[in-house]
Structure formats: C-alpha cells, structure tokens
Amino acid sequence: MSDRHVYEYALVRVVPRIERGECVNAGVLVYCRAKSYVGARTHLDEARLLALDAEVDLPGVRAALRAVEGVCAGGDAAGQAAQDDPGRRFRWLIAPRSTIVQPGPVHTGLTADPAAEADRLLDLLVR
C-alpha cells in the first residue's frame, strides 16, 4: 500500500478592490481525508498588498487570516466550527464569499505528509 494520500488545497487570496480583479496570495489551505488533516499556512506581504490598495484595512486582513488558521486548528479557536470534522471545516473555508479574504479554486495532489505539504505550498505559491 502506498504511503502517499490524495490531498486537496486552495490558495487564500486577498482581493482589496474587487472591481480591479487584483489579488495577493496570502495563504494555503490543505485537506487530506485519509489523514484527517486540515491545515492553513499564511504569510501576508503587506508591501505588495499596499501597492494594490494603499487604504486596505491591514488589521482586518490580518484578523481574517488568523481566523482561517483558527478554523483549521479546531478547538476553541475554531468558534462555531469547533465540533466539525476536518473535511467540513475545509469545505466551509473554501466556500465562495464576498469578503476581501477569499479562497481560490481547489486543486489536488498526493502527499505522505500533509503538514509538510502545506509548508511547501506556502513557500512555492505565496512567499
């Protein structure tokens, strides 16, 4: 049996002015059903975001990214989602919404270590 499992991931994007269609990748969500894993890694390049919109609400964006990490972590940090299984929390996070912090499309891959994959994807796609 293979030690690699299917996982899903989506970028977390910051879209400061929806009418312009510009965004900054600020994180990645990873879900692996076989490992009961859901995780988020975030990194906000504030200078890049301010270049798109000098008046963006940076504290609000930071708070939204912390909330995404909290939902993935579960427990008290997940709020109402605390009792949900990892898959349900992932599906809630990737649902389309009309806020500044938005999920991107879902992609798939294979991994033996979903937490390490989250770190790799953050470095590759966000930093």
Residue pair 29/38 in contact by the 8 Å Cβ criterion: yes
How do beta strands 37-42 and 5-14 pair?
unpaired
Amino acid, res. 97: R
pLDDT of residue 26: 97
Percentage of residues of the chain with pLDDT beyond 90:
74
pLDDT of residue 98: 73
Give the model confidence (pLDDT) of 72-122 as tens digits. 887 777 677 777 888 988 998 999 877 899 999 999 999 999 999 999 999
Model pTM above 0.85: yes
pLDDT of residue 114: 97
pLDDT of residue 49: 96
pLDDT of residue 83: 77
**Residue 73: Cβ within 10 Å count:** 15
Confidence of residue 15 (pLDDT cuts 50, 70, 90): very high
User: At CA 109, angle to CA 107 and CA 110, rounded to 5?
Assistant: 160
Give the model confidence (pLDDT) of 46-65 as tens digits. 999 999 999 999 999 999 99
